[in-house]
């Protein structure tokens, strides 16, 4: 039996998640590297003759007209730049909603989680969102349990991933479901990926904590980064990671040389520093967005960490309008 996938590409869709997802199916679904559509088949669904432009400028032509979703086993939406309005054409919207009524499994790659959520298709589901967009997502879609501490999530008939190589990992899980682990690993090997990562593997974080080496500490840091405005207690973080407070404290001390509370505070200050570069934001707004109870409390803690007040740092960050811009060379 061949499992069929329909791909709906948003305007200015991201190319890498699309190609990695399809290539995982392609490489896993046939013997050797012959790329026959034996175990899996797929179509780029859209209006015939109208090219679909990706965020990097490469255009793709649909391979199949917008038809009946009954012909497919999975519907995959590939997200794009969030600045784009009406990500999907009306025909694709109707196709997607019809698929949902038929209870077809839906997959959202990259920012497609936003599109699915706008149609109410993620309500009362858990969804994986990139840490970079998690705050905006949660503010817009309170009925979705949005998370940024994993590469992808599968919640019943909904699957979402943060994008990038996480698309290959999510596709690999579907390969394991329909075929076996060997086929999934074969695809990963050909794509030069060391393995198919699980839902417990965290999204990569910034280089703020280079000492964070374990999956547990990285996931804890991502939970902190994703919950600045509305804080989680250390006990809540430990509970989500299914470990004790003492275990969490021990891992942070071992890898970072500080406790989780101190790390959480450093994450807040780091986020606040970035916000201070935007002079349209009042200091009180920066404090609020960074999760501090008041501007005075923020200023006191900020000075303790940096040695200067928020307003002093903002002044130092202000560019010299008379200076010549630095030129970069290739």
Domain boundaries, the chain: 3-190, 215-317
Phi-psi domain of 198 (left: phi exceeds 0; alpha: psi -120 through 50; beta: other): beta
Distance CA 141, CA 38 (A): 39
Q: Given CA atoms 48, 89, 157, 108 in this order, what sign does their dihedral have?
A: positive
CATH code at 3-190: 3.40.50.880
The pLDDT tens digits for 64-99 are 999 999 999 999 999 998 875 668 999 999 999 999
Q: How far is it between the farthest Cα atoms of the chain?
A: 68
pLDDT of residue 207: 66
Distance of CA 89 to the CA centre of its chain: 23
Q: Which secondary-structure segment (H or E) carries 253?
A: helix 245-256
pTM across the whole model:
0.77
Helix (H, G, I), strand (E, B) or coil at 18: helix
The pLDDT tens digits for 115-163 are 999 999 999 999 999 988 887 899 899 999 999 888 999 999 999 999 9
CATH homologous superfamily of 215-317 equals Homeodomain-like (1.10.10.60)
Distance CA 65, CA 80 (A): 21
The pLDDT tens digits for 249-266 are 999 999 999 999 999 999
């Amino acid at each position: 039996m061949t499992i069929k996938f329909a791909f709906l590409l948003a305007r200015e869709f991201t190319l890498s998640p699309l190609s990695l997802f399809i290539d995982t199916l392609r490489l896993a679904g046939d013997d050797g590297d012959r790329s026959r559509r034996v175990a899996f088949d797929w179509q780029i669904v859209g209006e015939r003759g109208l090219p679909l432009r990706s965020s990097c400028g490469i255009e793709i032509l649909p391979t199949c007209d917008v038809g009946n979703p009954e012909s497919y086993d999975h519907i995959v939406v590939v997200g794009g730049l969030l600045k784009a309005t009406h990500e999907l054409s009306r025909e694709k919207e109707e196709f997607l909603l019809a698929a949902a009524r038929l209870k077809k499994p839906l997959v959202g790659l990259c920012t497609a989680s936003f599109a699915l959520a706008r149609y109410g298709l993620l309500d009362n589901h858990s969804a994986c969102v990139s840490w970079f967009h998690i705050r905006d997502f949660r503010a817009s879609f309170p009925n979705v349990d949005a998370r940024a501490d994993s590469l992808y999530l599968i919640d019943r008939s909904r699957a979402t991933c943060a994008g990038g190589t996480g698309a290959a990992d999510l596709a690999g899980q579907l390969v394991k479901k329909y075929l076996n682990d060997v086929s999934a690993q074969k695809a990963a090997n050909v794509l030069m990926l060391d393995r198919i990562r699980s839902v417990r593997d965290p999204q990569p974080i910034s280089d703020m904590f280079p000492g964070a080496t374990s999956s547990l500490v990285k996931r804890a840091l991502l939970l902190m980064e994703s919950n600045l405005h509305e804080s989680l207690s250390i006990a809540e973080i430990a509970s989500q990671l299914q470990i004790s407070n003492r275990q969490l404290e021990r891992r942070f001390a071992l890898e970072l040389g500080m406790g989780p509370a101190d790390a959480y505070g450093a994450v807040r200050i780091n986020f606040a520093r970035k916000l201070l570069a935007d002079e349209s934001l009042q200091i009180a707004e920066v404090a609020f967005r960074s999760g501090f109870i008041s501007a005075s409390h923020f200023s006191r803690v900020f000075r303790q960490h940096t040695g200067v007040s928020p307003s002093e740092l903002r002044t130092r960050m202000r560019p010299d309008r008379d200076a010549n811009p630095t030129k970069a060379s290739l």
